[in-house]
Amino acid sequence: MTGREKVRGEGIDLLILQPTPFCNIDCDYCYLSSRSSTKRLAPATLRAALTKVLASGLVQGPLSIVWHAGEPLALPLAFYEEAFAVIASAVGGDQEVSHSIQTNATLVNDRWCRFIRQHQVKIGVSLDGPAFLHDAHRRDRRGKGTHARVMAGVKCLQANDVPFHVIAVITAQALGHPDEVMEFFLEHGIRNVGFNIEELEGTHGESTLTAPAHRQAVLAFLRRVYEYHCAANGAIRVREFDRAYQAIATADVGSSTAAKTANDQVRPFGIVSIDCDGNLSTFSPELLGARSPQFGNFLFGNVNQVDLADVLLHPVFREVANEIATGVELCSRSCEYFPFCGGGAPSNKYFENGTFASTETMYCRYVIKAPLDIVLADLERSLSLAH
């Protein structure tokens, strides 16, 4: 622990930086709209971003930077060597900074691994399980599956002793194959897995999971994954169930305010997202680069021109913030899972329900409620509590 421990709910928990919108592959469920653009974040804009974020006074502990919203490794290593130096000089010696990269891993090589190890960058790999599931959606621009290239990257990470976790997207195709997915991860020495559901977000206006008929199938998938999670005795960890344990252990079940502040997606500046041009957004990271008839592009200012405090005066920001707050209030009044969640994911509410001022989404059902139900029932069973 450091002397400047972060207090969740009272500042910037996460800074998301878009090094480039470009992605070298073309997944059919991607929500990003500009992934053919080869723009990149300029050093001067990066310096302005860090300067403005720190000048806000909202960074109250170690600053977590996630490089995302495009394929970060599509840029040359030299970009990050310069960027990390710019950040180090902008923040000064007293500010602890950690870096994370979410990558499709197709471009990982020994040089990247050395850099990742040298800077202790946390790595998340996007991998949907075995090839027949992964390649159904994660393809390149010629329509070819990327699984073999991803696994080459995974092997390279492992050979270089680079720790990483995997984020897998659950699509309708995966629902009948939880055993194949979990066996695949176990067989390949992948120990930490998070499951995202295929969501309606940004340019991805349809999901294979929206049909009501899939509800029971998703729950069955998650129950089977939980059986693996338990039976593996620590050999593989599943993020959604660990979060559920954490929520059951620590949620303040008597306080609605505590839950709201713990959800950094509903809190202004809990997450700050900055695109490669210096445009700033906040709330859900998926809002960066998204478009809406009502709210435009969800950008609330540019770090080359404004301070974070100026964002408060931006009329669209105020409208979005008000609507998100209304949605959180609706959740607090209607959902008994609220103490464990704090108001859901605003981007999912907007793109799925058409308004931030709404409640349940697929994210709620499958990422919050189902894991809590599964873990709580298992705890009750093992503690011989009747329910």
Count the Cβ atoms, other than its own, within 10 Å of residue 298. 24
Output the smallest distance, CB 312 to another protein, in A: 4
Stretch that binds another protein, among 154-162, 177-185, 206-214, 257-265 (CB under 8 A): 257-265
The string of DSSP codes covering 257-269 is HHHHHH-TTTSTT
Q: What DSSP designation does 367 have?
A: I
Closest CA to 66 of 282, 218, 272, 211: 272
Output the smallest distance, CB 158 to another protein, in A: 17
Output the smallest distance, CB 160 to another protein, in A: 18
**Subset of 304-363 contacting another protein (CB under 8 A):** 307-310, 312-313, 318, 321-322, 324-326, 328-329, 332-340, 345, 347-348, 363
Stretch that binds another protein, among 36-44, 179-187, 295-303, 378-386 (CB under 8 A): 378-386
Asked if 74 is part of the footprint of another protein (rule: CB under 8 A), the reply reads no
Nearer CB in complex with another protein: 22/241: 241
Handedness of CA 346, 366, 130, 113 (dihedral sign): positive
Burial category of 230 from C-beta neighbours within 10 Å (exposed 0-12, middle 13-18, buried 19 and up): middle
Asked if 367 is part of the footprint of another protein (rule: CB under 8 A), the reply reads yes
Output the smallest distance, CB 233 to another protein, in A: 7
Residues 237/243/244/248 CA torsion (nearest 10 deg): 130
Asked if 277 is part of the footprint of another protein (rule: CB under 8 A), the reply reads no
Burial category of 120 from C-beta neighbours within 10 Å (exposed 0-12, middle 13-18, buried 19 and up): exposed
Output the smallest distance, CB 332 to another protein, in A: 4
Beta-bridge partner residues of 187: none
Closest CA to 274 of 263, 287, 261, 265: 287
**Subset of 159-188 contacting another protein (CB under 8 A):** 165, 167
Output the smallest distance, CB 132 to another protein, in A: 25
**Subset of 22-61 contacting another protein (CB under 8 A):** 55-58
Among 68, 138, 147, 214, binds another protein (CB under 8 A): 68
Binding mask 118-137 for another protein (x = CB under 8 A): ----x-x-------------
Binding mask 187-226 for another protein (x = CB under 8 A): -----x-x-x------------------------------
Beta-bridge partner residues of 66: 16, 100
Nearer CB in complex with another protein: 52/214: 52
Among 45, 64, 146, 208, binds another protein (CB under 8 A): 64
Q: What are phi and psi of 69, to 5 degrees?
A: 70, 45
Stretch that binds another protein, among 41-49, 71-79, 80-88, 254-262 (CB under 8 A): 254-262
Closest CA to 344 of 286, 279, 272, 275: 286
How far apart CA 229 and CA 237 sit, in angstroms, is: 6
Structure tokens given for 80:
């990050």
Asked if 148 is part of the footprint of another protein (rule: CB under 8 A), the reply reads no
Q: What value does the CA radius of gyration of the chain take, rounded to a whole number of Å?
A: 20
Q: What are phi and psi of 384, to 5 degrees?
A: 55, 40
